[in-house]
Structure 1
Amino acid sequence: MPTLTVNYLDEIRTVEFTAGKVIGEVILTSGFPLEQPCAGRGTCGKCKVLAEGALSYLDEIERKFLLKAEREANVRLACRARIIGDAQVTLTPVVVYSNKAFTQSNEFKTNDHPLGLAIDLGSTTVAAFIVSLKTGDVYAGSAVLNQQTIFGADVITRLSVAESEPVKLSALAQASIYQAIAALKLSKRVLARVERVHIVGNTAMHHLLMQYPVHTLVMLPFQPHDRSAIYDAGSFFSSLFPLQAKVSLAPLIDGFVGSDTTACLAHFRFDRPRGPVLAIDLGTNGEVMATNGHDILVASTAAGPAFEGVNISCGTRAVDGAIVDAQLDDGHLRLTTIGNRPPVGLTGSGLLSVVNMLKCAGVVDVSGRLIDDNHLIPVEEGEDGIAQVKFSLTVALTQMDIRELQKAKGAIRVATDIVLERLGIKPEDLRCVYLTGAFGSQLNTDAILGVGLIPNVDRARIKLSPNGAGLGAAMFLRDESLRIGEELAARTAHVELDLEPEFNLRFVESMGLE
């Protein structure tokens, strides 16, 4: 049988296969991660790999997504190229960030404090944090792509697969957690001091990880199989965590609102608010949380992965060259990229900032349409006939990208408006608005307000907290904080947006960039 040699970071694996399979299918049998936001349908062009050997000829879809330089460098789409005989592929690392310091000290590597691991199992990204159980300090964090995305960014698709293959979806989640922990680069000596592990995630991620029945989540009224806290799940995970560690999971709230929201509520101290507060977790499955000082309401909304740079033609994670901000300075376009490198793509924050900048320049109207009568920033027609604005030879924003952002924005905004209305809160009365999740710390508050992602509030009241769920999970490593989380979950009411009168109409109205 022919073999495929797969190179990922510093590791090489060889897999035997039946000739004629697509590269992506064979890569997945190697156990290495592969990013496929469209679930291998050939519609996103994101599963690029460096491939050599006995391969099929480029097809029409590959020619559409691959630049001439990429084709000459033997780049192929893993969902399209078929392997005829022996071949070799090199995969791009899917680490979002690795061993990112949260403090200025590396003393946890040398002191004797007992340690804990906090895990945020997100739909797109899985994050891990190393925490002192003595002081509560979060020392460092890392994040990797959730390997479940091989089935696409859509969580409902994963739930459907899990009805027949629950072990496979759980294994992919556990593999992602393992990679996130590995990205922390902890020594065996440090791992030996890990005494507690706490995992949070939305209801779907929680159920997929624990192999719970998911049929109640794929049909109305979308209820969890079990929302209870789990206090000692170590035996379920076998060798995933240090053997001495006690593994726990916080309680879910209701519907798709899971323990990641419980963690955010704890982190933002909804147990003792000083007046009306709003918090929004921006991600593939967005959560809106609000309190009037007494009652707490939450809602889950399917924002889609645009905030994480997925389903965007030139979307990217936070890598060198990723656009994170855009300004119009005296008629000149000024892009801010990570590492001040030439632009390679748009992050979620970059997408929001670019669209807001184009709106301010009159290139995009409030309906989201690109207007081709601006001499400052030209709008041109792409190869597929779709209007676009180019920022470099390889990076552009298309009309379809703007529509993806509008859908995500509309989902968050309508959920926010409904929750605030239910609590009788006027935007001007909000003491604080917390934004957490996919954007990280690069989010531009002018862009947030400019496109109408949130209601109009004083900029000084907007607080960015990139890792609300993860930091809440870090709190739950301590029993007294976990009890606070349990109390918050019990007293929080869930707003079912699907049952809201005229929800669809309000969603469409909320897609406007105002």
Structure 2
Amino acid sequence: MAKFKIVFQPSGRRGEFDGELTILDAAKSLGVPLESLCGGEGWCGRCKVIVEKGSENLSPLTTEEKKLLSDEELSLNYRLACRAELRGDVVVSVPEVSVARVQVVRKPLLEIPVELKPALKKYYVELPPPTLQDPTGDLERLLKTLEETHGLKNLKVDYPVLKGLSKALRDGEWKATVTVWCGSEIVKVEPGRSERLYGVAIDVGTTTMVGYLLDLTTGKLAAYHSLMNPQVPFGEDVMSRITYVMDNSDGLERLHQKVISGINSITESLAKQAGVSLSDLYEVVLVGNTCMHHLLLKLSPEHLGCSPFPPTLHQPVDVKARELGVRILPSGNLHVLPIEAGFVGADNVGVLIAVEPWKSEEVQLIIDIGTNGEIVLGNKDRILSASCATGPAFEGAHIKYGMRAAPGAIEKVKIDAESLDVEYETIGGEKPRGICGSGIIQVTAEMFKAGVILHTGSFNKQLETPRIRKTSEGYEFVLAWKDETAVGADIAVTQKDIRAIQLAKAAMYAGAKVLMKRFGADHVEQVILAGAFGTYIDKEAAMVIGMFPDCPLEKVSSVGNAAGEGARLALLNLSKREEAKWIAEKVHYVEIAVDPHFQDEFVAAMMFPHQKDSFPHVEHLLPKEES
């Protein structure tokens, strides 16, 4: 088989490859930091490269490239790295706009105080060595000592622990530390005295995964790490991944292995950050939507894709780490919180045990913002939940200059209503490279307030400013001029970007209105924002564009990654696991897609901020002609 050479400039990294593969594949193999928000699926347009030599040695232009690359870019030999296959030797340049940057972890935890009562506990013991007069077996000797000194009875021992038991006891000269899970099973025996005891809480999101390392002896956060869900190349949302499983005989296995690889990347990073061994990680508590839940447990999500959307199970799951290939202590436990329904999963249960709406007198609207948005409405009387497919627009995807929350991402914007001059702030204070999810919400609100876009979301063609221009793809508004940016091009918000935000916010708003009708509430008294960037969203901007119904701004709060917080609480306190089981059974799930009011509510919510609902708490901010 022929070998093809590829050189990446300006880094100079090069390599030889057998057979046909894409430029993106080669970049990954050589460690070239090339952006690919969609994971190589061909829809984000972020992996642009310039072919300096050997353009004839690449596969022909694809439909995706003709759609995502401008005429000017095509004339300059731009290609999408994920679509251009090597057929011979090439030299390519990676423009600044395509250089991948390290994502900033934007899923902070509230770290709600909780009594430290983890599933695992360590016990130090000193055993009498065996003698001719007392040749009792090592296990029986250990069990007797544990009962006499710590009151532990009827303990089981995990088989791999049993295999290493005799050596551990003798290496410690009959002094050992025994780790017990849930007061019932020995999962580790170490020579001498050992105090290291860690657990991991992981939120498996459709787009992003984030993990937190907790010291189970103190309850303190020791490290955190986030990454793009490795399943993204197989589909940007849950339905596309369900379809992939249904259409491919090895689909379930592949998606399962991808999510496990993501979990392992997290555990390895956390252990490295904290300077501990993977064997010091004793338990992982996981949350995720129902599809992610099924895929990580290697349960087919096929039936989640069609009515009545039944999951394989609702109850929580405990499984040995070695059974799923998760890299922690092999005898360690994976605990997956229970799920509510086909599209409201363990992540929402995590949110609920963190926020505890059943203790509230006021009607709370809890919105977990992400690719698979989840909504909860309720108080001490009852709680309703629903799922709405907002898509990845709030994650920065499907936005022309959208990007992850990395250095250089525009996250705050102010547009002068008179001059239309733009002031912005970027993550890290670097020159702008794109717009992150929280940034696009504020940009949209500022454009609406300044009259750049109208009530319908269309551009105001009456304004005369160089920032509004028409391209072959439609109208756009320039946020940052070429000489201000780090990417050698203007950064703009397009009409298509605005439509993507309208679709996402309309789905969320319509879902909330359906729940309000079911609940019998004509208004909400509190709005709680959770999710990937709930903490970073400007609540005033969110209300201006109509992401949720009107509410006093002082009653709108952000709780960060509440799903991850719920996983943390369940890791640190066993009672929270019982609470999770209780609330998963108590919540009433509403299938909003079949609700007769949903479509009308969705259409009305496409407007900024809404076609008919009033917003008295931000009315003074709305354009006069649109209010």
What TM-score comes out, normalization by structure 2 length?
0.72
Deviations 1:26-82 (A, max 9, x none): 678999998756675644312346888865278486587568999999974222211
What is the CA distance between 1:256 and its match in structure 2?
Answer: 0.8
Give distance in 2, aligned partners of 1:31 and 1:177: 21
Verify the 8 A CA contact 2:434 2:491 in the aligned structure 1: yes
Structure 1 counterpart of 2:103, one-letter code: V
- What does residue 58 of structure 2 align with? 56
Q: Is the 8 A contact 2:109 2:564 kept in 1?
A: no
Q: Is 1:201–1:259's contact at 8 Å kept on the other side of the alignment?
A: yes
Q: Matched residue of 2:44: which SS?
A: coil
Q: Retained in 1: the 8 A contact 2:210–2:266?
A: yes
CA distance in 1 between counterparts of 2:196 and 2:376 reads 34
Confirm or deny that 1:468 pairs with 2:556: no
Tell me whether 52-61 or 275-284 shows the greater mean CA deviation.
52-61
Q: Deviations over 1:376-409 (max 9, x none)?
A: 5742112x23110112233110000000000000
| 1:446 matched to 2:532 | no
Q: Residues of 2 paired with 1:56 and 1:148: CA distance?
A: 27
Alignment partner, residue 18 of structure 1: 19
Aligned equivalent of 1:319, options 406, 409, 421: 406
Of 245-254 and 209-218, deviating more is: 209-218
| Between 240-249 and 454-463, the greater mean CA deviation after superposition | 240-249
CA-atom RMSD in angstroms: 3.5
Whose Rg is larger? 2
Shift of 1:85: 3.5
Give distance in 1, aligned partners of 2:233 and 2:35.
Answer: 6
Match of 1:130 among 197, 213, 216: 213
Structure 1 stretch 234-243 or stretch 49-58: which is displaced more?
49-58
* Structure 2 letter corresponding to 1:315: G
Give the distance between the partners of 1:317 and 1:203, measured in 2 at CA. 24
Q: Name the aligned partner's letter for residue 122 of structure 1.
A: G
Contact 2:530 2:560 in 1 (8 A): yes
* 1:223 equivalenced with 2:307 (yes/no): no
Matches within 5 A, 1:389-468: 389-391=477-479, 392-393=481-482, 394-428=490-524, 430=525, 432-468=526-562
**In the alignment, which of 568, 573, 577 is matched to residue 482 of structure 1?**
577
1:416-471 alpha-carbon deviations (Å, 9 max, x no partner):
1111222223325x1x3210113242211111110111111111111112211111
Indicate the residue corresponding to 1:355 in structure 2.
Answer: 444
Spell out, residue by residue over 1:288-324, the C-alpha distance to the aligned partner (whole angstroms, 9 max, x if none).
0121322111000100000000111110011111111
Contact 1:299 1:496 in 2 (8 A): yes
Counterpart secondary structure, 1:482: helix
Q: Write the distance in 2 (CA, Å) between the matches of 1:29 and 1:464.
A: 40
Is the 1:148–1:169 Cα contact (8 Å) retained in structure 2?
yes
Q: Secondary structure at the match of 1:421?
A: helix
| Structure 1 residues 102 and 295, CA gap change in structure 2 (3 angstroms) | closer
Give the Å deviation of 1:177.
Answer: 1.8
What is the SS of the residue equivalent to 1:160? helix
What does residue 267 of structure 1 align with? 354
Aligned partners of 1:401 and 1:296: how far apart in 2? 34
Q: Cα gap change, 1:245/1:214 in structure 2, threshold over 3 Å: closer, same or farther?
A: same
In the alignment, what sits opposite 1:508? 603
- Preserved contact between residue 592 and residue 598 of structure 2 (Cα < 8 Å): yes
1:152 to 232, 235, 251: 235
> How many pairs does the alignment contain?
501
% identical equivalent positions: 31
What residue ranges of structure 2 are gaps of 5+ in the alignment? 112-193, 483-489, 610-627
Aligned equivalent of 1:96: 103
Measure the CA separation in 2 of the matches of 1:183 and 1:445: 33
> Does structure 2 conserve the Cα–Cα contact (< 8 Å) formed by 1:322 and 1:343?
yes
Render the CA deviation track for 1:118-166: whole Å, top value 9, x for unaligned. 1100000000111132343334322111111112313212112123221
**1: CA distance, partners of 2:451 / 2:382:** 42
Report the Cα distance in structure 2 between the residues aligned to 1:443 and 1:210, rounded to whole angstroms: 33
1:295 equivalent among 372, 379, 382: 382
2:263 aligned counterpart, secondary structure: helix
CA contact (8 A) 1:363 1:377 kept: no
Segment drifting more, 372-381 vs 391-400: 372-381
Distance 1:71 1:183, change over 3 A: farther
Gaps of 5+ in 1: 105-110
Give the TM-score normalised by the residue count of structure 1: 0.87
Find the aligned partners of 1:53 and 1:240 in 2 and give their Cα distance. Answer: 43
Q: Is the 8 A contact 2:101 2:407 kept in 1?
A: no
CA distance in 2, matches of 1:404, 1:364: 14
Contact kept? 2:394, 2:437, Cα under 8 Å: yes
Counterpart for residue 107 of structure 1: none
Query: In structure 2, do the counterparts of structure 1 residues 187 and 487 end up closer, same or farther at CA, with 3 Å as the change threshold?
Result: same
* Cα 1:101/1:284, change in 2 over 3 Å: closer
Larger displacement relative to structure 2 (463-472 or 305-314): 463-472
Counterpart position of 2:299: 212
The letter for the 2-side match of 1:80 is: R
1:281/1:437 contact within 8 Å kept: yes
Q: 1:126 to 1:291 in 2, by over 3 A?
A: same
The change in CA–CA distance for 1:202 and 1:32 in structure 2 (over 3 A counts) is: farther
Structure 1 CA distance for aligned equivalents of residues 235 and 316 of structure 2: 28
In the TM superposition, what are the counterparts of 1:97-112 in structure 2 within 5 Å?
Answer: 97=104, 112=195
**Quick check: 92-101 or 221-230, which moved more?**
92-101
Q: 1:179 — aligned with what?
A: 265
- Determine whether 1:370 maps to 2:459: yes
